[in-house]
Amino acid sequence: MSDPSGAQARNPLYRAGFAVTERRDLWWMEPLLTVLGLGVGFGYLTWAAFLGNPEHGHYGPYLSPVYSPPVYEWFPSIMTYLPAFVSPALLILWAPGGFRATCYYYRKAYYRSFFLNPASCAVGKPWEKYCGETEFPLVVQNIHRYFMYLAVVILAFLWYDALKAFTRDGPKDYVAGAGSVVLLLNAVFLSLYTLGCHSLRHLIGGYLDCFSTCPTSKLRHTAWGGVTCLNERHMLWAWVSLGWVGFTDLYIRLVSSGRLADPVLF
């Protein structure tokens, strides 16, 4: 029988070591694709953020999500106090970057693919020591909800940018270019990702034990149901929104540099 202290006698089948497994399927494929996907997505956005010239992210009413909200325009003097390597985009991207870095889905993705902790289920790990998210620095992941609050605020600005992208010479002059649709889809995808957040799901109603006790708790149950619906596809929206943010920035860069024409749709 088991030792009551909880210490287990090692099963004689136990073999330790990185990638030790009896699995025969392509278990390494998912972490490999994740490394490639996150490498390309975050690699591009980091490159875009460090380029440092906001003019490349502007074209007419279009504003790249990398530069939105334009904090550097509201407080131009702030840039003079910062080191030269800090681009205007970095004033903004730390917030959505922190939101994604502490997101429960991305945690799964990078713990598996970058930290091999573990690379896949029932596959050996290269690490012997393990403290999970109980100690610094990973205990800081608990800050996720604060990044979520910031991400929701930034999302409001991205919706403003998306709607503004349908205007030209004023709020009543509606023109839809391909870029307007790109920016609109960017706001939609980011909303589907942000509003499916696990922390939001908890704060909006998940913390309640009883949904039927008062009228507001019923309202919260409806909201919780909506967030749950999005949360079930959180991984999908995490990838789609990440890819689309990069595509949106690239599109506006190409249009503003004259390498791509922005067709007027209607």
Partner 1 sequence: MPEQRSFRVFRGDAGGGQMKEYTVETGPGMVVLDAVHQIQATQAPDLAVRWNCKAAKCGSCSAEVNGKPKLMCKTRLDDLPADRPVEVRPMRTFPLIKDLVTDVSWNYEVNKKIPPFTPKPNGEWRWMQEDVDRVQEFRKCIECFLCQNVCHVLREHQKQPEFFGPRFFVRLAALEMHPMDAADRLDLTHRQSGVGYCNITKCCTEVCPEDIHITDNAIIPLKERVVDRFYDPVRRLLRKLFRR
Per-residue tokens: 162: 């998306």
DSSP-derived secondary structure for 172-183: T-B--BHHHHHH
Q: How far is the CB of 195 from partner 1 (least distance, A)?
A: 15
CA distance 46 to 90: 9
Helix, strand or coil, per DSSP, at residue 59? strand
Of 11-19, 43-51, 77-85, 165-173, the window that binds partner 1 (rule: CB under 8 A) is 11-19
Give the residue, chosen from 28, 54, 58, 107, that forms a contact with partner 1 under the rule CB under 8 A: 107
Residue 137 is a binding residue for partner 1 (CB under 8 A):
no
Cβ contact 152:194 at 8 Å: yes
The site for partner 1, by CB under 8 A, has a size of 56
Of 129-137, 155-163, 164-172, 242-250, the window that binds partner 1 (rule: CB under 8 A) is 129-137
Give the residue, chosen from 35, 138, 178, 240, that forms a contact with partner 1 under the rule CB under 8 A: 138
Closest to partner 1 by CB, 27 or 159 = 27
Give the residue, chosen from 24, 83, 85, 169, that forms a contact with partner 1 under the rule CB under 8 A: 24
Sign of CA dihedral 96, 97, 101, 105: positive
Of 153-161, 166-174, 178-186, 199-207, the window that binds partner 1 (rule: CB under 8 A) is 199-207
Closest to partner 1 by CB, 4 or 83 = 4
Nearest 5°: the CA angle 195, 200, 205 is 115
Give the residue, chosen from 47, 53, 73, 133, that forms a contact with partner 1 under the rule CB under 8 A: 133
Who's near 18: CB < 8 A, 6+ residues apart?
Answer: 116, 124, 125, 126
Closest to partner 1 by CB, 8 or 80 = 8
Who's near 199: CB < 8 A, 6+ residues apart?
Answer: 144, 145, 148
- The backbone torsions φ and ψ at residue 63, rounded to the nearest 5 degrees and listed phi first, read -130, 125
- The backbone torsions φ and ψ at residue 72, rounded to the nearest 5 degrees and listed phi first, read -65, -20
Cβ contact 204:223 at 8 Å: yes
Restricted to residues 200-219, the positions that interact with partner 1 (CB under 8 A) are 201-203, 206-207, 209-212, 218
Residue 5 is a binding residue for partner 1 (CB under 8 A):
yes
DSSP-derived secondary structure for 75-112: STTHHHHS-TT--TTHHHHHHHHHHHHT-HHHHHHHHH
Q: What end-to-end distance do the CA atoms of the chain give, in Å? A: 75
Residue 33 is a binding residue for partner 1 (CB under 8 A):
no
Q: How far is the CB of 16 from partner 1 (least distance, A)?
A: 8
Restricted to residues 142-171, the positions that interact with partner 1 (CB under 8 A) are 142-143, 145
Residue 223 is a binding residue for partner 1 (CB under 8 A):
no
Sites of contact with partner 1 (CB under 8 A): 1-2, 4-14, 16, 21-25, 104, 107-108, 111-112, 117-118, 121-122, 124-125, 128, 130-134, 138-139, 142-143, 145, 198-199, 201-203, 206-207, 209-212, 218, 221, 231-232
